[in-house]
Amino acid sequence: MATFLPQESYILKLPSEVLERIIDLSSLIEEKKDEKHQFLGWSYPEHSCVHLKSIALCCRRLYILCAPFLWKDKEFILPRQDDKKSTNAAVQMATDILSKKALFQEDYYLGDYVHSLSRDLTSGPHFDLLNSKLMAQLVCNLRALRIDFHPLPRSEHYGLRYFAEYCPQLNQLYLNHCRDTFNDFLSLVEHRPPLESLTLTNCTIKESTLEKLTSTLKPTFILLQQVLIEPPKKPKTNSHLIDTTNQPFLHPFHYQDTQVSPIPPRLLQSLALNNLSQLALTTDSIPSSLLTQMTLSSPHLEKLSILLHDLNPYHVQQALASISRLSRLNTLSLGFKKFYPVTKECDKLPCHAPSAAWVALAKHLPLLQLLYISATRLVVSCDFISALIETCGSSLKNVIIHNLALTQYPHAALEEDEETIRDVYMKECTSITYDIKDWASHTHDLYTFEQAKKKGFDWFSDTDQVCYIKGFDSLE
């Protein structure tokens, strides 16, 4: 009978640091590698759990090296109140899991490995403060925290203060439906975690707290969506009499409170004083003057998402000029809208800039990878798309521009006088066409609404006449 000698494993002779790097790179989720140009308030998990498990099962040493990656990104969902525990399933509390000793490493608990934690608490408005406090104590090495709360307002705080207190390395925070009635956000100012990224959606925050937060913590990535200013004191309302148990939440519940207010312009301006790398204000439209101040305060912006409500051609041209000075910009989302944050109503607007302003913008953003422009009318010349492609080259992978209006008699010079700019724009508007055949080039990337619909692009409306789409069809 033949005898089989154990084969020597050359890979296990490598230093642990090298093996860790191999595990790290080989288990990265492929889709994550192509998302660097996108706005991602939350980008976890980073590694494929299936791939990591395959490596970990090979031997004890590889398991020990894989353990930090296997437990690095965790997500816990709060059960519904009416959920029943299966008699056949060994369901454990999240805190029970995190408090377990790590296998083969007696000095570590599983919670010690957790660097990003996502908590889904949307199943009900019942509170979990004791669980939150214990969980925060168990993940003391936490870097990134995401919590999605139930939309109903609470009668006590949200537990954010526990993570601010017990997680001193917390540098990324993503909160959804968190209301600042009980000064949750003030705990961030008090404990001062090294916050670099702040994403708030459907939240309220006290004005004084927001001012302190941006000046004290100075995050370099800020994404705000449906964020309003919480009144200084809790108002007296009859919201407890409203039966919301069987109603779909079409809007965040805090918008039923008429005392909330939009973020004042001076605070929006202060957000950019920290030399930001990324800024997204998706539901706060601003004037060009504020955008100019923001770009001067954060000249190294790499990603920008903004809404403009200016109608004066001179001011719109100034706004485009301020964006063109952002030499590191790789992602730009620009919408021409007047947004009303409290009511969530929105007026879509045309872009009143002469075509030369768009050509100038296209020539000054060589690092652009993603471009999204939304307007009811965007007056451009044939040179605009050509300049965009020539400047950015192959790096510009994804583009959507709504409602391109081709002017047949463009004014090539970039004027500076306010009255002249207005006259040029008005004159160009007299010769616009929405016929794709009138374009000299790039017609294969131009679509009418019907053509885009047939192609499978479902994010357009019947008001779109001619749209420029590049790259997104590869994502189907």
* Segment 367-378, tens digit of pLDDT: 999 999 999 999
What pTM was computed for the model? 0.85
- If asked whether residues 121 and 27 sit together in one domain, one would say no
pLDDT confidence of residue 273: 87
In a domain, 183, yes or no: yes
In a domain, 266, yes or no: no
- If asked whether residues 18 and 134 sit together in one domain, one would say no
- If asked whether residues 53 and 129 sit together in one domain, one would say no
In a domain, 143, yes or no: yes
In a domain, 287, yes or no: no
Does residue 241 carry a pLDDT above 50? no
> In this predicted model, what pLDDT tens digit does every residue of 329-363 receive, in sequence order?
999 999 999 999 888 899 999 999 999 999 999 99
* Domain encompassing residue 438: 315-476
- For residues 166 and 191, give the distance between their C-alpha atoms in angstroms, rounded to a whole number: 9
- For residues 135 and 162, give the distance between their C-alpha atoms in angstroms, rounded to a whole number: 9
In a domain, 347, yes or no: yes
User: 71, 45, 72, 56: which is closest to 23 by C-alpha?
Assistant: 56
- If asked whether residues 129 and 208 sit together in one domain, one would say yes
> In this predicted model, what pLDDT tens digit does every residue of 251-277 receive, in sequence order?
444 444 558 999 999 999 998 888 899
- Amino acid of residue 287: P
- If asked whether residues 383 and 435 sit together in one domain, one would say yes
- If asked whether residues 126 and 226 sit together in one domain, one would say yes
In this structure, which long-range contacts are made by residues 431-436, counting pairs with CB atoms below 8 Å and at least 24 apart in sequence? 431/407, 432/377, 432/379, 432/405, 432/406, 432/407, 432/408, 433/405, 433/406, 433/408, 434/404, 434/405, 434/406, 434/465, 434/466, 435/406, 436/466
pLDDT top residue among 438 and 38: 438
- For residues 329 and 446, give the distance between their C-alpha atoms in angstroms, rounded to a whole number: 24
pLDDT confidence of residue 82: 44
Which residues are 461's β-sheet partners?
none
- If asked whether residues 333 and 227 sit together in one domain, one would say no
Q: How many domains does the structure of the chain reveal? A: 3
- If asked whether residues 43 and 104 sit together in one domain, one would say no
Does residue 162 carry a pLDDT above 80? yes
- If asked whether residues 362 and 408 sit together in one domain, one would say yes
Does residue 57 carry a pLDDT above 60? yes
- If asked whether residues 48 and 150 sit together in one domain, one would say no
- The CB-side HSE value for 399 (13 A sphere, CA atoms) comes to 22
The residue written with tokens 């759990």 in the block is 49
Q: Is 181 helix (H, G, I), strand (E, B) or coil?
A: helix
Tokens describing residue 264: 């004042």
- For residues 54 and 110, give the distance between their C-alpha atoms in angstroms, rounded to a whole number: 19
**Boundary residue ending a domain (244, 261, 278):** 261
Q: What average pLDDT score do residues 234-246 get?
A: 45
Does residue 105 carry a pLDDT above 90? no
Q: Lowest-pLDDT range, 29-33, 163-167, 193-197, 214-218?
A: 29-33
**Pair 301, 276: CB distance under 8 Å:** yes
- If asked whether residues 30 and 120 sit together in one domain, one would say no
In a domain, 376, yes or no: yes
For residue 152, give the CATH number of its domain: 3.80.10
Does residue 26 carry a pLDDT above 70? yes
**Boundary residue ending a domain (219, 245, 261):** 261
In a domain, 453, yes or no: yes
- If asked whether residues 411 and 321 sit together in one domain, one would say yes
